Amino acid sequence: MQQSLLQNQKRITSVDLLRGAIMIIMALDHTRDFFHVGAQTGNPLDLSTTTPILFFTRWITHFCAPVFVFLSGTSAFLQSARKSKKELSIFLITRGLWLILAEVTIVNLLLTFDINFSFIALEVIWTIGISMVILGLMIWLPFEIILAVGSLIVLGHNALDFYEKDQTPPFSATYNLIHRQGFHSLWGRQLLILYPFLPWAGLMMLGYCLGKVLRNNDATWRKKFLIIAGMSTIALFIILRFINVYGDPSAWSPQPNGFFTFLSFINSTKYPPSLFFMCMTIGPALLLMAWWDEIQNGFTKIVSVYGRVPFFYFLAHLFVIHLISAVTYFMRGHSFQEGINPTAFIKFIQPGEGFQLRYVYIIWLAVVIILYPVCKWYDRYKTDHKEKKWLSYL
C-alpha cells in the first residue's frame, strides 16, 4: 500500500513538472508580446520576414496552451481518486464557470489595463473554463465514450475547414465560439474570440483519459505506454503533414532553402488548434512525461513549484510583465493620456517600440525568478490550508 502511494505521488510530480515547464515557457511568449520591438507590428511566424531565433521563440511557446489544457484533463481524472463523481462534476463545472468569469474580468484587466473593458478577449483561460464545464458533464458517461468523443473531436474537427472555405465571412458569434476566431460587438464593446473551444474541449477529454494510465502502479508499463503514445502521435503529425491534405487549414510549402521549408512544415495552426498543432505539441509532451516520471532533483523541484500553482502564477506573471512594460513606456517619454488611447486594445504600449530579442530573454528570466518566492509561498500556503476549499479555485 505504501509503495502504491509513493508511485502515485511520483506520477503527480511528473505532471506538476511538465506543467511547471510550460508555465515558464509561456511567460516568454507574453514577455515577447509586451517588450519585443516587432511584437505589435509583425508576425514572428511569417517566413518572409522572421529570423530563425525569432521563429523558434514564438514556436516553442506553442506547447504551452495545448499541454496545459491536456494536463487540466489529466488532473481532473487524478482528482477522482479523492472525490466522488458528483463532487468532481460539481467542482469542474463551478471552477470552469469561475475561470470564464475570471477571464472576462481579472485576466482582461491585467492584459489590457483598461478599466473600461472596451475590448473583451476570450483566450486560453476562457477555453479551459468552458472545457472544464463540458468535462464536468461528460464524466457521468462511461470512460469509453469520453475517449471516443475526445478522439472524434481532435481527429475530426478539421473537417470544418472545408465547410469554412465555402462560406463568406463574417461567421456568427456562435460559430466563432465553437471553431473560428472572430470579432463581434457586445453591449457597446468589442468581443475578441481568440480561442474557439471545440478542439480544446476534445483535447481536455483525452487528457482526462490519460489520467487512467497515470493511475496505473506499474511504472514500466506506464513508461512504455507514454513512449509508444508519444512516438505514435509525432509519427501521425509527420505522415499527415507530409501528405498535406487534411489536418490543418494552412498547408506547408517549399521555401527558398531546406531549413525554411522545415519551418513551414512545423508551422501549424493554433487558432483554433489544428490536428497537426495538437499532435506536434502533445506527442513530445508524452515523451517528456515518460522521462520525467523518474527524475527528481533540486532543479525539477523548483520547476514543479510553478506547476502546482498555475493559475496564481498566470495572473501574477501577467500583472508583473504589463506593469514593467508600462514603466518602460513612461520612461520613453509617453504621457498617461497617450497610454490610455481608447482605440488601443492593450494600454501603455506603443507599436514599433521595444527591445531587441536578447533583452526580451533577460526580462523573461527576471520575471520568472522574481515570481518564484511568491509562487513557493502560495504553494506552501495551499498545502497548509487544505481546509480552505476556495484555494482550489485559484
Q: Write out pLDDT tens, residues 49-71.
A: 999 999 999 999 999 999 999 99
Residue 272, preceding peptide bond in cis (omega within 30° of 0)? yes
Confidence band (pLDDT; 50, 70, 90) for 12? low
Q: What is the mean pLDDT of residues 214-236?
A: 94
Cell matching residue 226: 507514454
pLDDT of residue 4: 41
115 has a pLDDT exceeding 50: yes
pLDDT digits (tens, 9 = 90+) for 172-197: 999 999 999 999 998 889 999 999 99
Residue 7 pLDDT exceeds 60: no
Please give the average per-residue pLDDT across 316-323, as a whole number: 98
**Whether the predicted pLDDT of 326 surpasses 90:** yes
pLDDT of 136 above 80: yes
pLDDT per residue as tens digits for the range 335-382: 999 999 999 999 999 999 999 999 999 999 999 999 999 999 999 999
- Which residue has better confidence, 284 or 390? 284
Q: Which position has the higher pLDDT, 14 or 17?
A: 17
User: What gap in Å lies between CA 183 and CA 72, rounded to an integer?
Assistant: 27
Return the C-alpha cell found at 274. Answer: 489544428
Residue 2 confidence (pLDDT) above 80: no
- Count the domains in the chain: 1
The CA–CA distances, whole Å, from 104 to 109, 110, 153, 161, 371 equal: 8, 11, 26, 28, 24
By residue range, what is the domain housing residue 294? 2-393
Helix (H, G, I), strand (E, B) or coil at 273: coil
pLDDT at 5: 38
With a cut of 80, say whether residue 3 has pLDDT above it.
no
pLDDT for the residue numbered 301 = 92
Q: What is the pTM of this model?
A: 0.94
| Dihedral over alpha carbons 354, 358, 363, 364 (to 10 degrees) | 110
Number of CB atoms found within 10 A of residue 295's CB: 13
Whether residue 246 is predicted with pLDDT greater than 60 in this model: the reply is yes
Q: How far is CA 24 from CA 69, 134, 318, 394, in A?
A: 15, 28, 12, 18
